Structure 1
Amino acid sequence: MESISAPHADLSHWPGEDPRQKRLVPEELTASQQVERSPEFRADLERIRFSPYYSRLSAVTQVISQTGAGLAIHNRLTHSLKVAAVARSIAVTLQADDGPAGQRIAQLGGCHPVVVQSAAAAHDLGHPPFGHLGERTLDRLAREHLGLAEGFEGNAQSFRILTRLDEYDREGAGLNLTAAVRAAVLKYPWLRQEGLGRDGGPETPRGLSPSPDGAGARKFSVYSLDAPAMEDARAAYPMISKHQQTVECAVMDIADDIAYSLHDLDDFYRAGLLNQAAISAEFRAWRQERNELAELESADLVLNSRTPGYALELLWRRLARKDSWIASSEAFLAAVDKVFEEVVDGLLLAPFDGSRDAERALATFTARWIEHLQTSVEIHTDPPPRCGHVSLNQAAWHEVSVLKFLHERFILERADLTVYQRGQARLLERLIRGFAAWLDDPADVRRAPRRLLDLVDLAMEDYLRLARTVPELLDTEDEAVLRQRARGRGIIDYVASLTDAQAISLDHLLAGSSERLWDAGQGL
């Protein structure tokens, strides 16, 4: 039996305590600390904010990099700060509700504003260099080159950081956060393999749909190595069903969607990347021709998706197919009209010129939309599989979908961004292959970065512990195979923890082309 100080120890036997405030490892506090840190959630928020993983988010790309578009562009840290602000506002409102909705929330475990803030601060800790491009690239390399069937996922990496990689003041407990905060970061509370065999239809929880390459769930919040820590956190919420978010997690998820839909729009508008004429043509064509577009085959829409109106029709069909529990043609049309009026024929009509008038107009626009969306939530006693106990109402849900469509269609598909991202993907591949070759070199492995070696050792400890305690989560107990997997997971943990600039510097170092050896090598 594992000792109580082991990672992911089972503390479910603790008597007489609020299970939501249990930590992975018990902590003894002085009387003054008990007063200052009651409830325990405030300490969690401080630990996350003081984490070096949190600090590094200031130098990690959100969607487009600051080096390419200027300091006004959001990074992962500014995004996280704004998610936390939106989430706290929603949580305060829900917590103050003394009616039936508030009573139901209390029955489901509550909605503490500090728990929600903590989860929002932590939700992007695991994102690697270069934004979502980095996440997709590391996932592919982990599976194809390092032999890790679970690959890489930013949400799962965040949970691994909180419960294993980062440490507060004791070995083997991560930041030793309360069960409430650990549960609140589990947006997708399942393992990747749980998505195998799913059809991705309306009865499949959002994110548990199969990934395009058939590797398992499209999104997931936990690697097998860290599954015991997930079960420990979820045990504090027996009233929450399997694969369902806690209330606090659902609020954080909503806030993430709101921030993503508006603050990225803010970025692209400031950078002059949103072509008002092209966007207007898309919206006008769909509104005028939606009856004719509805008659076309989906294959024809995909083949001609750059024809004005076609991409919006594809968006509507995707929403109707996957989210029939809330999708409505009338609500979608109303959302398109609202976004067209306020964004396309409103904000975007005047290009951002950096003037005080432009700044005021943008600030007013953003504040108005945030206020509207964060007050557009509703409570569900028995939510459908693709919905949380707290969600945006039907109108706001469609509006966020259309807002996100703007940058998905008109930014992420830009050829110039694609060229830049392909270069970043090759850089990450060079790092992964370079470190893998280094660790396979018996003559030089001892000179590999100390932190990399530590992370490989840590992963090996985790694999061996899993083989002893939950062997059904592994397809083999062969120590040589587990050692190879630990090597791969350690490399992924190391590269994923880099900032954009550190990744670029390391690439130059491994290529022998850096002219600033000592500066570039700091922190390895």
Structure 2
Amino acid sequence: MQSDLRAARRDTVPFGTDATAVTAETDASTQVGCGLYPPSFGRIGTGAEAAWPDLVSNPFRADRDRIVGSPFFARLGGVTQVVSAAGSGLLHNRLTHSLKVAQVARAIAERLLAGVDSAELIGKLGGLDADVAEAAALAHDLGHPPFGHLGEQVLDRVARHRFGLADGFEGNAQTFRILTTTDVRGPSRVGLDLTAAVRAAVLKYPWARLHRPHPHPATLRVPPRGAAEPADAQGTGSGKFSAYSTELDDVEQARSPFAGLIEPWQQTVEASVMDTADDIAYAIHDLQDFHRIGVLQHAPVATELGEWLSQALELAGLDDATLTAQARRPGRSLELLRRRMHAKDSWIVDDEAFTAAVARVRRELADGLLAAAFDGSVEAEQAIAAFSARWTSRLVEGVVVLPSPTTRSGHVTLRPAQWHEVQVLKFVHRQFVLLRPELALHQRGQAGLITALVDALDAWLGDRDEVSRLPRRLHDLVELAHAEFGDLAARAPELLVGATGEPVTGADAVRGLARGRAVVDFVASLTDKQAVTLLDALSGRSSQPWSDSFVL
């Protein structure tokens, strides 16, 4: 029996409506996907608002349309995936990446729903709807700031050290904040007014950095991926998380239909589908990009993989110190990966599967796709298309649902063979793209740019003579954050702490946190180009007034 009960209607009660009065009207559940969905109400609107019509009656399709129609989604076309596309059609940006993740997520969902055994298990775990998984995949990168992960790291450091925000900045938490708070295109004037199912499906790391849930997953013997504190930032809370303290009520509302079906720290099935799809897309499509532009070369990749295959036993006998000292020699970095996998993922790692994965990646990537340089020909384009299709199909076919997964995995994961292949593909990307000195040089400049932009905007906010001429969006974000932090101070003061964990009290301190969050929200909403152009204007380097009106 499918026992899942989930929200089939919007979660926002129209302003002026008593939530208890409408409960009776929404008690009839609607069969959707792999379960039943009863009402679950979220935030009540803050002003009189009209019901905005959607193009479809299916609430999850309507959610998908609202996400795609958001300018926060459109801006992803100008946000770095790995390196700035700079107008090139050869590199993925966050928008094209999100579209491909959505494509893979829908394929996974439809495949799992077609299996009798998996569909029955999914029903017991809370259900699965392909539209929900697709919507979550489309939304999953909305919170990425300019320059991708590099921008995320810089804004987190600035938020904690400069503004004293204990939550700092995290792209997944920023995504949830956009969907529930800072995007104003929904009828409630706050967020997009999405169903509980879609909001829960976006929660890749369904916990806060420090506070929720209780007990916090960081305290588990084997914490979920992302829940542990970074080794180089002890005392700062989880390295990855999906909600700031200001959005914790939204998390609880979205997750409430799943109480008793999954653990408080576990992803919903739909979130697990989205997470798996993201891994698959990342493992395949970024490799294509760097083959296209000539960065990913056959010789170094084939040598690394081949040397490990031919010297596996010898390398396994080296101690960690020797191996690390020889890391530049072929095969050594791959051996370090194998050891890290044993240390972190003993639940699935298997040396035979790892060896098979290395051999397959060498055969199909190094000696296959990379064997001939990309020259823009029909043959080269077809080789990329065939590689992508073949690998996507293979990895999607390897998706399974587990009734009781390890804390390191969601309920939806890959079979051992495919799981190891994804790890090896991601290794190739990291080793031969992300660790290149040229990329590091480029990113250091971008880090300085974001820091300088935050400084300039913060100085503008502190200039009493100029505060009336602030960008209207920045002014509105300050007011929003001030109201949020003021509410926390009155309602849940235990959540209002500084970056060092000390309680935050007093009106001035609350205003300081609000100002910091507003600046971070504003900078995070820019595209790469907008960030560069805005800093040029603020620093006097531009001879023209900055007139880009598309500021979120």
Aligned partner of residue 492 in structure 1, secondary structure = helix
Contact 1:95 1:110 survives alignment (8 Å): no
Deviation at 1:447, TM superposition (A): 1.6
Aligned partner of residue 66 in structure 1, secondary structure = coil
5+ residue gaps in structure 1?
none
Deviation at 1:182, TM superposition (A): 0.1
Aligned partner of residue 353 in structure 2, secondary structure = helix
Q: Which amino acid aligns with 2:85?
A: Q
**Aligned twin of 1:478:** 506
**Aligned twin of 1:24:** 42
Match of 2:97 among 59, 64, 79: 79
Contact 2:217 2:265 survives alignment (8 Å): no
1:523–1:203: structure 2 CA closer, same or farther, 3 Å change rule? Answer: closer
Separation in 1, partners of 2:216, 2:340: 20
1:135–1:12: structure 2 CA closer, same or farther, 3 Å change rule? Answer: farther
Separation in 2, partners of 1:331, 1:111: 30
Match of 2:171 among 136, 141, 154: 154
Separation in 1, partners of 2:49, 2:524: 34
Matched, 1:58 2:80: no
Matched, 1:267 2:289: yes
Q: Which amino acid aligns with 2:177?
A: R
Percent identity for Structure 1 against Structure 2: 48
**Aligned twin of 1:185:** 202
Deviation at 1:173, TM superposition (A): 3.2
Give runs of aligned pairs for residues 400-419 of structure 1, distance below 5 A.
400-419=422-441
**Aligned twin of 1:444:** 466
**Aligned twin of 2:375:** 353
RMSD of aligned C-alpha atoms?
2.7
Give runs of aligned pairs for residues 49-448 of structure 1, distance below 5 A.
49-67=68-86, 70-97=88-115, 99-193=116-210, 203-211=222-230, 212-214=232-234, 215-238=236-259, 239-448=261-470
Deviation at 1:156, TM superposition (A): 0.3
Aligned partner of residue 235 in structure 1, secondary structure = helix
Deviation at 1:383, TM superposition (A): 1.1
1:507–1:4: structure 2 CA closer, same or farther, 3 Å change rule? Answer: same
Deviation at 1:296, TM superposition (A): 2.5
Separation in 2, partners of 1:240, 1:354: 48
Q: Number of residues paired by the alignment?
A: 517
**Aligned twin of 2:500:** none
Name whichever of 188-197 and 233-242 sits farther off. 188-197
Deviation at 1:454, TM superposition (A): 0.8
Q: Which amino acid aligns with 2:77?
A: S
Separation in 2, partners of 1:49, 1:438: 33
Name whichever of 476-485 and 184-193 sits farther off. 476-485
Name whichever of 300-309 and 150-159 sits farther off. 300-309
1:23–1:499: structure 2 CA closer, same or farther, 3 Å change rule? Answer: farther
**Aligned twin of 2:8:** none
Aligned partner of residue 210 in structure 2, secondary structure = helix
Q: Which amino acid aligns with 2:320?
A: S
Aligned partner of residue 176 in structure 1, secondary structure = coil
1:10–1:292: structure 2 CA closer, same or farther, 3 Å change rule? Answer: farther
Separation in 2, partners of 1:379, 1:160: 29
Matched, 1:46 2:74: no
Separation in 2, partners of 1:4, 1:468: 24
Residues 304-343 of structure 1: CA distance to partner in whole angstroms, max 9, x if unpaired? 3222111111111111111111111111111111101111
Q: Which amino acid aligns with 2:65?
A: E
Q: Which amino acid aligns with 2:173?
A: A
Separation in 2, partners of 1:261, 1:519: 38
Deviation at 1:202, TM superposition (A): 7.3
Deviation at 1:518, TM superposition (A): 4.3
Contact 2:81 2:147 survives alignment (8 Å): yes
Name whichever of 186-195 and 145-154 sits farther off. 186-195
Separation in 2, partners of 1:229, 1:32: 21
